[in-house]
Amino acid sequence: MFALADCNNFYASCHRLFEPQYNGLPVVVLSNNDGCVIARSNEAKACGIAMGAPFFKIKSEIEKHKIAVFSSHYTLYGDISARVMTNLARFTPDVEVYSIDECFLGLSGFDNLYEYGKEIRETVIKNTGIPISVGIAPTKVLAKVANKTSKKHNGVMVLQTEAQIANALSDYPVEDLWGVGRQFAHKLIKGGIETAAQFRALPMDWVQSNMTIVGLRMWRELWGESCIPLKTVLDPKKGMCTSRAFGKLTTDYNQLKEATSSYAARLGVKLRREKLCASVISVRLLTNKFGPEALQAYPAITIPLAHPVNNTVNLVNTALFGLKKIYLRGYLFQKVEVTATGLLPETEVQLNIFTAFKGVKHDQVSKVLDRLNLHYGSGTLRMAGEGKAQEWTMKREFLRPSYTTNWNDIIKVK
């Protein structure tokens, strides 16, 4: 048996956790640079706010319905997600963190699954304040169905018997099935297959020939045959990227240098946190794809490193070298990307016998940076090349404090 625990309206719930005055009121969360809607509370959905709606187009609707607006705060979301996952891991040793707000749990051998699901849900809500839904079923696909159905049944749903499964699939939209993409959904609906029950009733040969092995695996899972196992060990990462759109378009080379330095430094922090080293660094500049076509440019460069590294100094120097090579005058750039590939565990790094490795001091400096920034807050100490004013930073007019990751923003009880 599998359980899927899914946080309800996760981004909105994270903000409501620290600003409970918005409980029961419509809430939306905006993407980077406050561009478009990436999360909505149920109340905002009821107001007709569409996912992905550009913010500037819905300002009148936001004022009309008095919708609370928040800038995206991924540091906060990541920290709250870790707390939720830690609580979920108390209930079984078999855990797969599927996304920032979803987690699969292996419940083989457990009895009285409905009561256990209720206990899981109530414990997470009590300990973290984040509302979740729990769906339990014999397969992952059915657990997804149970989870979505549970939102209408007090947050917990168990699909264990054939009668329970058949009843849940009878009116479940086929386009909502886990694994049915837009193209498959269009094809199925066009052929008169509108519910999960109708899809399950299709011949196996038809499914295999028309929807490949992925569709066949999903079809088998709907019949209660587990074909997608839990991933309790994460696959090793093949690459990491840091990239954010600027608050405004810029052609200023100094601002691009500051942004590139900052992103390379963040990349170093990520690599050291995962205990990985990069063998290749790539730098890419992007103009606004919605701007005039004559001004479009996407220059990029890939730089192999003499030695795999994860220290900030080497990464920043390499990224700036790449930026200098690809910079084009006269273009208004919207974004810079710094990517690390060819990742190796720190313990498996082999040095190059033909070039001396001079990064030992840089490694020590990076460790000091990490310790100080962990204790005093991110950005307390940084490379001079990252700049002070950072006029290029993305626009976040509705940003809330870092309640759980910055000492200065911790809520004070009077």
User: What element of type H or E holds 243?
Assistant: strand 239-250
Residue 292: predicted pLDDT: 62
Residue 228: predicted pLDDT: 86
Residue 246: predicted pLDDT: 83
Tell me the CA distances in angstroms from 125 to 92, 96, 130, 342, one per residue in order: 18, 20, 5, 40
When comparing pLDDT for 391 and 49, which is higher? 49
Residue 368: predicted pLDDT: 86
Residue 227: predicted pLDDT: 87
pTM, to two decimals: 0.80
Residue 301 has pLDDT above 60, yes or no: yes
Lowest mean per-residue pLDDT among 4-13, 43-52, 153-162, 359-368: 359-368
169, 200 Cβ separation under 8 angstroms:
yes
Q: Residue 372 — very low, low, confident or very high, per pLDDT cuts 50/70/90?
A: confident
Asked, colleague to colleague, whether 2-150 and 239-386 share their fold, the answer is no
| Nearest one of 167, 139, 196, 148 to 3, comparing CA atoms | 139
Give me the mean pLDDT over the 13-37 stretch. 90
Domain boundaries along the sequence of the chain: 2-150, 239-386
Residue 133: predicted pLDDT: 94
How many whole angstroms separate alpha carbon 139 and alpha carbon 108? 11
Q: Residue 13 — very low, low, confident or very high, per pLDDT cuts 50/70/90?
A: very high
196-236 residue pLDDT tens = 898 888 888 888 888 888 888 988 999 988 888 888 777 77
310-335 residue pLDDT tens = 889 999 999 999 999 999 888 888 88
* Beta-sheet pairing, 102-106 with 132-137: unpaired
Structure-token pair, residue 95: 């855990």
| Nearest one of 264, 2, 244, 256 to 107, comparing CA atoms | 2
Which residue reads 């809500």 in tokens?
A: 125
Which residue reads 């590139």 in tokens?
A: 260
85, 96 Cβ separation under 8 angstroms:
no
Residue 276: what residue type? L
Q: Residue 138 — very low, low, confident or very high, per pLDDT cuts 50/70/90?
A: very high
When comparing pLDDT for 160 and 394, which is higher? 160
Q: Residue 182 — very low, low, confident or very high, per pLDDT cuts 50/70/90?
A: confident
When comparing pLDDT for 376 and 157, which is higher? 157
Q: Does domain 2-150 have CATH number 3.50.50.60?
A: no
How many whole angstroms separate alpha carbon 168 and alpha carbon 319? 53
Residue 293: predicted pLDDT: 57
Residue 79: predicted pLDDT: 92
How many whole angstroms separate alpha carbon 62 and alpha carbon 25? 12
Residue 116 has pLDDT above 80, yes or no: yes
Residue 108 has pLDDT above 90, yes or no: no
Coil, helix or strand at residue 345: strand
Give me the mean pLDDT over the 178-182 stretch. 82
Q: What is the mean pLDDT of the chain?
A: 88
Lowest mean per-residue pLDDT among 111-125, 135-149, 247-261: 247-261
Long-range contacts formed by 216-222: CB under 8 A, 24+ apart:
217/179, 218/141, 218/177, 218/178, 218/179, 218/180, 221/139, 221/140, 221/141, 221/142, 222/139, 222/141, 222/142, 222/165, 222/169, 222/177, 222/196
Instruction: For domain 239-386, give its CATH number from 3.40.50.360, 3.40.605.10, 3.30.1490.100, 2.40.50.140.
Output: 3.30.1490.100
42-79 residue pLDDT tens = 999 999 889 988 888 888 899 898 999 999 998 899 99
Residue 391 has pLDDT above 90, yes or no: no
413: Cα separation from own chain's centroid: 32
How many whole angstroms separate alpha carbon 2 and alpha carbon 374? 37
How many whole angstroms separate alpha carbon 326 and alpha carbon 26? 45
Structure-token pair, residue 371: 């310790």
User: What element of type H or E holds 158?
Assistant: strand 156-158
Q: Residue 125 — very low, low, confident or very high, per pLDDT cuts 50/70/90?
A: very high
Residue 306: predicted pLDDT: 86
Residue 374 has pLDDT above 90, yes or no: no
